[in-house]
């Protein structure tokens, strides 16, 4: 069934959108990532104008993250205190990110920068996570299921001032690292047009030393607010949020997120991490491939007007 999107001004198959939303929703619930880094390129691919895709995706992430976070709240796997600290950083970061984005836009080539950002960050995080999870799985196999040695070593992160107790995460650390993580994720989220979960989740695990079970819910909690902020910014400045597109994506997305959250609970933390790593690497590989291989059509059309 074809449906005409009022803001995007294109006609697309409604079931295709529902399906895309569903698949990305499952991944979102499983890994605590918003799924924007998958969905935004997919939307470009089916012919949604990039500006509309980025803005609408932010709105859709609000829905799937909210649905996911409710499931996590019920199981008490959300560290609200840590989430709030990350959120404060995130809002500062996305404000900064939009300033950087507009500056680069005035220089041209912003599209290339976004792509390079994707390749570099996805590649780095994907391979780090992949290697680490592989090591963890091998270790668990060798010791015959003996408890995995705790990753929560004392490093420089634990010697900073302004310490705060995060009971749900079982941490007593300075607020500076979470704040910085929030800012960094906020900047990247604004530039790359995603929620930033795929950066935040590894940062929480490896940098802050939070337990994997809490990480997903907390990341979703933070993403809701950052993407809501982004949606409002796009809606009021560019009028590029397509609510019809968002509804179709999020109907699939919220259902998928519920299923995904339940799958995620049943899986081991290492397995979860290695799957996320593979997915991140796959997207990275595809984007790098597109940059390196000669495109079939060298020309592209954009809106004219005076830039």
Partner 1 sequence: MIRWLALLMLFALPAKAEEIVLGLSRDEVAITATFEGSDILVFGAIKREAPADADSQLGVIVTIAGPDQPVMVRRKDRRLGIWVNTDAVEVDAAPSFYAVASSGPMRDVLKDTEDLRHRITIPRIIRSVGAEIDNSLDFTNALIRIRAGQELYQVQEGAVSVDQETLFRTAITLPANLTEGDYEAHIFLTRDGVVVDDYVTTIPVQKVGLERWLYNLAHDNALIYGLMSLAIAIASGWLASAAFSLLRP
CA–CA distance, 94 with 80 (Å, rounded to integer): 20
Helix (H) or strand (E) segment spanning residue 207: none
CB 284 within 8 A of CB 126: yes
Site of tokens 């990275």? 284
x/- letters, 230..249, toward partner 1 (CB under 8 A)? -xx-xxxx-x-x-xx-xx--
Angle between helices 36-45 and 50-74 (to 10 degrees): 150
Give Cα 60 distance to the centre of its chain: 12
Q: Residue 139: how many CB atoms within 10 A of its CB?
A: 13
CB closer to partner 1, 143 vs 237: 237
CB closer to partner 1, 7 vs 215: 7
Among positions 102, 109, 143, 159, the unique one binding partner 1 when judged by CB under 8 A: 109
DSSP state of 9: T
Minimum gap (Å) between residue 259 Cβ and partner 1? 8
Minimum gap (Å) between residue 284 Cβ and partner 1? 14
CA–CA distance, 84 with 59 (Å, rounded to integer): 20
Q: What is the chain's Cα-based Rg?
A: 19
CB closer to partner 1, 58 vs 210: 58
CB closer to partner 1, 174 vs 258: 258
Only segment of 86-94, 120-128, 159-167, 297-305 that touches partner 1 (CB under 8 A): 297-305
Among positions 46, 99, 112, 282, the unique one binding partner 1 when judged by CB under 8 A: 112
CB closer to partner 1, 184 vs 254: 254
DSSP state of 155: -
Q: Tell me, by CB under 8 A, how many residues bind partner 1.
A: 60
- Region 44-83 residues binding partner 1, contact defined as CB under 8 A: 47, 59-60, 62-68, 70-71, 74
Query: DSSP states of 22-58 as a string?
Result: HHHHHHHHHHS--SHHHHHHHHHHTT--HHHHHHHHH
CB closer to partner 1, 127 vs 258: 258
271 binds partner 1 (CB under 8 A): no
307 binds partner 1 (CB under 8 A): yes
CB 121 within 8 A of CB 37: no
CB closer to partner 1, 156 vs 299: 299
The answer to whether the Cα torsion of 209, 210, 215, 221 is positive or negative is: negative
Residues that bind partner 1 (CB under 8 A): 1-4, 6-7, 9-11, 47, 59-60, 62-68, 70-71, 74, 109, 111-112, 228, 231-232, 234-237, 239, 241, 243-244, 246-247, 250-251, 254-255, 257-258, 290-295, 297-305, 307
């Amino acid at each position: 069934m074809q449906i005409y999107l009022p803001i995007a001004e294109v006609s697309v198959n409604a079931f295709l959108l529902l399906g895309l939303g569903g698949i990305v929703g499952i991944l979102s619930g499983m890994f605590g990532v918003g799924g924007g880094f998958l969905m935004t390129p997919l939307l470009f691919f089916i012919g949604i104008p990039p500006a509309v895709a980025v803005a609408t995706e932010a709105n859709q992430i609000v829905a799937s993250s909210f649905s996911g976070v409710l499931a996590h709240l019920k199981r008490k796997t959300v560290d609200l205190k840590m989430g709030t600290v990350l959120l404060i950083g995130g809002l500062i970061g996305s404000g900064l990110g939009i300033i950087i984005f507009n500056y680069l836009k005035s220089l041209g080539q912003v599209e290339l920068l976004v792509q390079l950002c994707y390749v570099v960050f996805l590649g780095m995080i994907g391979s780090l996570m992949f290697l680490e999870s592989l090591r963890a799985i091998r270790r668990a196999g060798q010791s015959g299921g003996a408890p995995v040695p705790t990753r929560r070593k004392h490093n420089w992160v634990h010697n900073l001032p302004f310490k705060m107790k995060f009971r749900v995460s079982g941490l007593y650390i300075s607020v500076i690292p979470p704040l910085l993580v929030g800012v960094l994720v906020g900047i990247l989220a604004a530039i790359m047009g995603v929620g930033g979960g795929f950066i935040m989740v590894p940062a929480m695990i490896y940098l802050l030393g939070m337990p994997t079970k809490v990480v997903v819910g907390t990341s979703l909690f933070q993403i809701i607010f950052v993407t809501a902020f982004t949606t409002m910014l796009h809606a009021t400045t560019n009028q590029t949020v397509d609510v019809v597109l968002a509804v179709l994506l999020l109907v699939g997305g919220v259902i998928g997120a519920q299923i995904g959250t339940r799958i995620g609970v049943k899986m081991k933390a290492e397995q979860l991490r290695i799957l996320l790593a593979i997915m991140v690497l796959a997207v990275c590989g595809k984007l790098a491939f597109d940059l390196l291989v000669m495109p079939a059509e060298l020309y592209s059309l954009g809106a004219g007007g005076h830039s």
